[in-house]
C-alpha cells in the first residue's frame, strides 16, 4: 500500500512514521509513505496556501487552487488514490472504516489547517472522516491516528496474526482485561481461570469479560457487535445487575 499526505506541515509526520510499528511496517514493505508539501504548488514568493474567507469571519481558509494542482500531479503518478479529508462533517472513524481503508491500494490524506478549507476542495474527496466531536490544531494530527489504525490491519504488520483479532473493536466489543506476572500484586490477584492452563475456559472467560465490559462502559457498541443469541441473553441478565449497582 502507498500512503500519502498533502499538507502545509509535512515534517509533522517524521517522528510518527519513523518509530515503532509504522517504522517496522515500512521496513517490511507493508506500506510506503510519502508526505507532500502543499507549498510546492503555490506561485507567490511567500508560498501562500491560505486567504481571508468571502463574507468575512475570523481566521484564514486554505485556498482550493494549490490543493487541486497538487492533487492533479500526485494522482497522475500512479493508480488513482482513494482521497480522504479529515473534517467534523465526515463519517465517524471506527475499526470498520479502518478495515475499509486497509483494502485500498493507495490512500491520499488531504489535511486542513487554520480555520478550514475552501469548500470546493472537497469535490476531490472519496471519503470525509471525523475522529470525534472536538477540535484539533490540524488535519495532520487526525490523519496520523487513521494511518496508524489502518497500517495495523495490513498483512504481516503485527507479528502475531491473532493480535489484530484480539484487539478492542475488532468484533465490535471492548477488549477483555489482561494480566502478566506477578500473579498477585498488592493484594490484587490474577483471576484463577487465567492460571488454569485450560484454553477453552480462558477463551470463554475472555469473551464474557468483553461482553460485560462493553455493556458497562460502551453499551452503544452492542447494537452493531457480532454476538450470538446466547450472548444476548447473557447481556439481558446483566441489565438487572447494572440497575441495582452491582
Which residue positions form the known binding site for S-adenosyl-L-methionine?
112, 131-136
- Tracing cell 487552487 back to the chain, one arrives at 65
With contact defined as beta carbons under 8 Å apart, do 128 and 89 qualify? yes
Give me 211's grid cell: 461482553
Give me 178's grid cell: 489482561
Output the known binding site: 112, 131-136
| 37 strand-pairing partners | 7
CA pair distance 180, 51, nearest whole angstrom: 54
Determine whether 27 is exposed, middle or buried from the number of CB atoms within 10 Å of its CB (0-12, 13-18, 19+). Answer: exposed
Residues contacting 144, CB < 8 A, separation 6+: 12, 13, 16
The closest alpha carbon to 48, from 10, 8, 13, belongs to 8
- Tracing cell 452491582 back to the chain, one arrives at 246
Amino acid at each position: 500500500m502507498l500512503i500519502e499526505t498533502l499538507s502545509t506541515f509535512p515534517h509533522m509526520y517524521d517522528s510518527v512514521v519513523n518509530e515503532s510499528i509504522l517504522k517496522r511496517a515500512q521496513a517490511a514493505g507493508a506500506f510506503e509513505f510519502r508526505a507532500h508539501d502543499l507549498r510546492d504548488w503555490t506561485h507567490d514568493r511567500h508560498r501562500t496556501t491560505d486567504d481571508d474567507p468571502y463574507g468575512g469571519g475570523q481566521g484564514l481558509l486554505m485556498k482550493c487552487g494549490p490543493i487541486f494542482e497538487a492533487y492533479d500531479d500526485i494522482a497522475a503518478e500512479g493508480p488513482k488514490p482513494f482521497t480522504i479529508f479529515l473534517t467534523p462533517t465526515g463519517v465517524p472513524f471506527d475499526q470498520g472504516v479502518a478495515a475499509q481503508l486497509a483494502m485500498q491500494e493507495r490512500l491520499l490524506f488531504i489535511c486542513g489547517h487554520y480555520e478550514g478549507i475552501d469548500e470546493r476542495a472537497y469535490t476531490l474527496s472519496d471519503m470525509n472522516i471525523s475522529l470525534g466531536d472536538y477540535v484539533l490544531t490540524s488535519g495532520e494530527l487526525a490523519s496520523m491516528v487513521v494511518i496508524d489504525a489502518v497500517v495495523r490491519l495490513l498483512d504481516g504488520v503485527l507479528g502475531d496474526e491473532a493480535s489484530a483479532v484480539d484487539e478492542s473493536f475488532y468484533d465490535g466489543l471492548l477488549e477483555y482485561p489482561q494480566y502478566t506476572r506477578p500473579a498477585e500484586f498488592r493484594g490484587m490477584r490474577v483471576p484463577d481461570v487465567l492460571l488454569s492452563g485450560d484454553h477453552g475456559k480462558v477463551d470463554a472467560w475472555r469473551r464474557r469479560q468483553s461482553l460485560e465490559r462493553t455493556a458497562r462502559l460502551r453499551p452503544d457498541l452492542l447494537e452493531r457487535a457480532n454476538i450470538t443469541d446466547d450472548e444476548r441473553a447473557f447481556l439481558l441478565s446483566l441489565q438487572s445487575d447494572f440497575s441495582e449497582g452491582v
